[in-house]
Chains A and B, each alone.
Chain A
Amino acid sequence: MGAGAYVGWNIGANDTANCIGTSVGCGLIRFKQAVALVAIFATLGAVLQGDHVMKTIGKGIVKEDLDYIAIFVALLCSGFFVTLATFFKIPVSTSQAIVGGVMGIGFAMRAKIDYFRFITIAESWIVCPLLVMALAFVLYHLLLFILKSIRISTLLVQNALGWMAILSSCYVAYAMGANNAGNAVGPIANLGIVNPTILLSIGGVSIAVGAATYGKKVADTVGKGITPLDIPGALIAQVSSAFGMHLFSIMGIPVSTSSAIVGAVVGVGLVKGAKAISKKTILTILLGWILTPCSAAAASYVMYKAIKLIFS
């Protein structure tokens, strides 16, 4: 349970920043206000719609019941690498880390692994950011066309878009709670010792605490580091990532808010041209996305083997 809460905290510290990073980055709301919104909506999302992903994470990939040690190791290793990435301000995927951790355990246990399921999830890691990037690019162009066609007060439009961006932050927080709380408590759900609703509540609250205590670093990378965002850009990035995430959440596939929002922010930035995007930041993020699941898998494998060797 402690390891699950730790992963939840990690999600809050790293991924939660992604749903508020754009709004905070363009100056719409202060970080503390944004965290309060995340606390409410992520917990609601976890409790009301988090069970789809929890089932996938808990039982979908490794076709064997995981023991306490296996779950502890998977959560600990994935959590460690996400914390490390958060320290370096890299928005990495907690979903990928936890899937990597579970895979590592699966290999160590020589358990039967559902490769088809794994490939489906891995495909989504590539497809999701690309899909969201294209969506953001198209939506931003559409918004520009509409704004230039209508003749109303630009200030009123900016004000309306600002409110919509904040509402979309809440929507993304909800979607994140629905999608990512399952990552934190999914493996524990497999043990069947705690009521799933309580588990999801713990996942949601852990996310909120993570956002409040360590979320600002990654929020700055997403909101300011990739490309400078204005109010319409922040709105489009959030709406696009929310749609992408909600879509995958309904399908029961754990995707990362990081990959969705990074894809969306890049899509918005591309409208202004490739020069508007910080290539160094993007390369660092991509490296983080590759290294995190691989490191989590390797560390879980080694740690589980070592523990079994010592205690047997």
Chain B
Amino acid sequence: MIIFKKEKEVIELIEKHADKMEECLAIATDTLQAYLKNDISKAKKLARQTDNVETQADMIRHEIRDKLYYGAYMPLLREDIYKLVESIDKVANFTEECCDFFLNQRPKIPDEFKSDFSVIIKASLGVGGPLKHSVMCYLKGLCPVEVSRQHAKDIGLIESKVDVLEWDLTKKIFSSDLDYSHKLHLRLCLDRIVEVSDRAEDSADQLELVTLKSMI
């Protein structure tokens, strides 16, 4: 169909962008898991891949911005769409930063905490799939608006579960016999990991706002 060609192109680009975000999170998960297994060379290789995918996501975001501000969608909708895209992009950005943090600062994860870190990495960085699903469900009209909103709320639930894991691990770290500086460093690692699901929750909130305007 010729009408709304630009608008449909924007939706396709947002899907591509969400794909990249999901890919970025998946590779980052492997990066951090490799780091936990002390396979630093593999982790470095994967971290570079994460950077590349994040850069690709940025390029797509720029393309979306250009298309939007060259006339796709009405100004009233344009701003909301771009804010949503930006919020998704931040998830990928924080994921990249998380990998960079581990590989630049090389925190020493004691063996007794490795399984806990592994669980929290999977939980926090595993949010990419549900986020992409909820966004595309709304943008492509794959499900009713109410269902899209429920998907967005589910991301909030994932973030809450990550918070619980974070709380437990923080307690465990600070009640251990490690040096205080080491404890603080591990705490920083934890902050970086949970930041990803926090940003995903922000993105889901933005999605909820957009869907709210479509609730009739």
Query: Using a CB–CB distance below 8 Å, which chain A residues touch chain B?
Result: 26-28, 144, 147-148, 151-160, 162-163, 230-232
Contacts and interface: CB of A to CB of B under 8 A. Distances in A.
Given A152-B141, A153-B139, A153-B141, A28 B74 contact: yes
Contacts of A230: 213, 216
Given A159-B7, A232-B216, A154 B141 contact: yes
B65 interface: no
B74 A156 contact: no
B94 interface: no
Nearest to A148: B144
Contacts of A160: 4
Interface string B185-216: 00000000000000000000000000101101
Contacts of A151: 141-142
Given A152-B141, A162-B77, A231-B76, 12 more contacts: A147-B216, A148-B144, A151-B141, A153-B11, A153-B140, A154-B141, A154-B214, A155-B138, A156-B4, A156-B11, A159-B7, A230-B213
B92 interface: no
B139 A155 contact: yes
17 contacts: A26-B76, A151-B142, A153-B11, A153-B139, A153-B141, A154-B211, A154-B214, A155-B11, A155-B73, A155-B138, A155-B214, A156-B11, A157-B141, A158-B77, A160-B4, A162-B76, A230-B213
Classify the secondary structure of B's interface with A.
helix
- Residues of A contacting B: mostly: helix
B8 interface: yes
B131 to A, nearest CB: 17
Contacts of B73: 155, 159
Interface of B: 4, 7-8, 11, 73-74, 76-77, 81, 138-142, 144-145, 211, 213-214, 216
A155 B7 contact: yes
A154 B145 CA distance: 8
B214 to A, nearest CB: 4
Contacts of B4: 156, 159-160
Contacts of B138: 154-155
Contacts of A27: 76
A163 B74 contact: yes
Q: A151, A158, A162: which has the most chain B beta carbons within 10 Å? A: A158
A311 B127 CA distance: 87
Nearest to B143: A151
A159 B214 contact: no
Contacts of A144: 216
A152 B140 CA distance: 7
A118 B145 CA distance: 50
Contacts of A154: 138, 141, 145, 211, 214
A154 B135 CA distance: 12
B76 A155 contact: no
Contacts of B211: 154
Q: Which among B8, B81, B138, B216 has the highest number of chain A CB atoms within 10 Å?
A: B216
A218 B142 CA distance: 41
B130 to A, nearest CB: 19
A30 to B, nearest CB: 8
Nearest to A150: B141
Nearest to A271: B216
Contact of B76 (A28, A147, A148, A152): A28
A159 B141 contact: no
B139 to A, nearest CB: 6
B211 to A, nearest CB: 8
B16 to A, nearest CB: 16
A273 B4 CA distance: 34
